[in-house]
Structure formats: structure tokens, C-alpha cells
Amino acid sequence: MSKQATARENLHCILFMTAAMAGFAVEDAVIKQLSYSMPISQVLMLIGCGGLLSFGVAAALARLPLLTPEVITPWFVVRTVSELASAILFVIAIVYASLSTSSAILQATPLAVSLAAALFLKQHVSVRQWILIMIGFIGVLCVIQPGLAGFKPAALFAVLGVIFLALRDAITRSISVSIPAITVSFWAFFALFMAGVVTVPFFGDFAPITLQNLGLLLISTVAGTGAYVSVVMATRGGDVAVVAPFRYTRLLFALGLAVILFDEEVNAMMMFGSSLIIGSGIIMMVSGGSRRKQIH
């Protein structure tokens, strides 16, 4: 009976994880679409505002504090700054490179976290795990394709974004578990809003918000906040080794949206590189190399 309950719990968590990854992919696609008629800074600020409003209301209804002593600790501040930097870099990559390439590179984040933990947190990494990390980053090179006709320099912003995401996730291990998920999500969207603020001087004047753009912003807010909530639900139960690999479904959704909405081409080299990244990441997770629960 307990085995059936465990299997059912795993299935629920897998569905939540898959839904979360679909939400994040939709949010990324909306950001790219909005960038055709708005500067990046304005897009970031508006999406950040949507998330702040959503989680602010949720916190008020649940009577959860948004500003606690844990939130103003140096580790949490550095985490928020890392979130800010990764948002700027990844959005630039989505807009100026491609959604498909940027999303594929993003999948290397768990491997980068393991690398950061080994280099900076002095955690033990086995020879097998080092090999998996190397294979994953070879996959990143295959996706970027430096020196080939398909190379887009803006894709390097996604690589830099992965570095800051890895820093964010590594720091998350040092953050008090007493901080509610809604509070953490609220400050994540605050970082997104501030990412827009600091990039205003670089991306020009704001554009009028059309009815179509308002609709897209609503879709982004629903998809983004829904994805954050789904991630929390996915990581509150089930077997991490079973559930966590489904984070890679984000790439499938992103590739589908990139091809259908933006007519992007996905060549064999990119697919091969993506396979290396996903394969090495899944093996790392299943073998116990990655036990974290921070997903986005």
C-alpha cells in the first residue's frame, strides 16, 4: 500500500514539475515576443511588477511576512543580486540570440551548481561526477557552436547567466528553510523588477503598452507565478531522483515554442549538444550528485 502511495505521490510531483517547466517556457517566449515592441528594461519591470503583485497578495492572504531578519542577511542579498544578474543576461540571450539556444544552455545549470560546490564550497565531487560535468559543458559548446556559421555571440550571455544561476542555487543551500516559499518567490520577482530598473539607461525609452501587450503580460504573469507555485508543489514530496529529471522537459517546451512561434531552426549539432547536457544532468541527479530542490 505504501509503495502505491509513493508511486502516486511521485506521479503528482512529476506532473507539477512538468507544468512548472511549461510555465517557465511560456514566460520566456512571451518575453521574447514583447521585446519586439518594448525595450528589455520595460519588459523586465512589467513582468516583475506582475509577480510582485501576485505574491504580495498571496503573502497578505496567508499572513506571511515579506521582510524578515533572514531576508536581510548577506547570503540572501547576494542570492537576490545573482537572480537579478541572471535575469538580465538570460533575457538578453533570448532576445538577441535565440530562445532555443538559450534554453538549451540553461539546462547546464545543475552541472554548474555541482562545479561551484566543488570549487567554492569544497564539497567532494567524484571522478564520475567530474566526467559528467565535462560532458555537459562539451554539450554547451555544441549548442553554442563557436566558429561555425550558426554561432551567435549573444548566446554567451546565456552562459554568463548560468554562472549566476549556479551561484544563486549554491547560496540557496545556506538560506534558512524557515523562509516561506512565497517570500522567496516575492523577492525573486523583486530582483526581476530591479533588473529592469538598472537596464533602463541601456535599452532606450519606454514604449506605449498596447492591448495586445497587456494580454501577453497577463499570460506571462499567470505562467510565471503558476510555474513558481508548481515548483514548490513538485519539490515538497516524492523522490528527488525520480522527479528532478523532469525539469529538463522545459527544453522540449522551449524548442516547440521557438520553432512554432519564432521560426527558429534547430540543427543536429544543437540536438546532440542538448542530449549531452540533459543526459549528463540526469545521470548526476539519479546517482545522487544533485540533491538540491531549487529549480528555476
**pLDDT exceeding 70 applies to what percent of the chain?**
90
pTM of the model: 0.84
Q: What average pLDDT does this structure show over 118-134?
A: 81
Which has more confidence, 286 or 28? 28
Residue 55: pLDDT band (50, 70, 90) is very high
Report CA-CA distances (Å) from 183 to 5, 56, 171, 174, 264.
30, 8, 16, 16, 37
Query: How far is residue 91's CA from residue 35's CA, in Å, rounded to a whole number?
Result: 9
Query: How far is residue 172's CA from residue 294's CA, in Å, rounded to a whole number?
Result: 7
Query: How far is residue 164's CA from residue 158's CA, in Å, rounded to a whole number?
Result: 10
- Residue 1's pLDDT is 43
Q: So where are the chain's domains?
A: 2-286
- Residue 292's pLDDT is 45
Cβ distance 174 to 66 under 8 Å?
Answer: no
Task: Give the model confidence (pLDDT) of 154-197 as tens digits.
Answer: 889 999 999 998 888 777 766 666 778 888 889 989 999 999 99
Which has more confidence, 114 or 158? 158
Query: How far is residue 42's CA from residue 225's CA, in Å, rounded to a whole number?
Result: 19
1-5, Cβ contacts within 8 angstroms, sequence gap of 24 or more: none
Report CA-CA distances (Å) from 95 to 59, 122, 255, 281.
32, 36, 15, 26
Angle, CA 26 vertex, CA 99 and CA 43 arms, to 5°: 75
* CB hemisphere CA count around 268 (13 angstroms): 0
Query: How far is residue 143's CA from residue 107's CA, in Å, rounded to a whole number?
Result: 11
Residue 296: pLDDT above 70? no
Residue 288: pLDDT band (50, 70, 90) is low
DSSP string, 224-261: HHHHHHHHHHHTSSS-HHHHGGGGGHHHHHHHHHHHHH
Residue 276: pLDDT above 50? yes
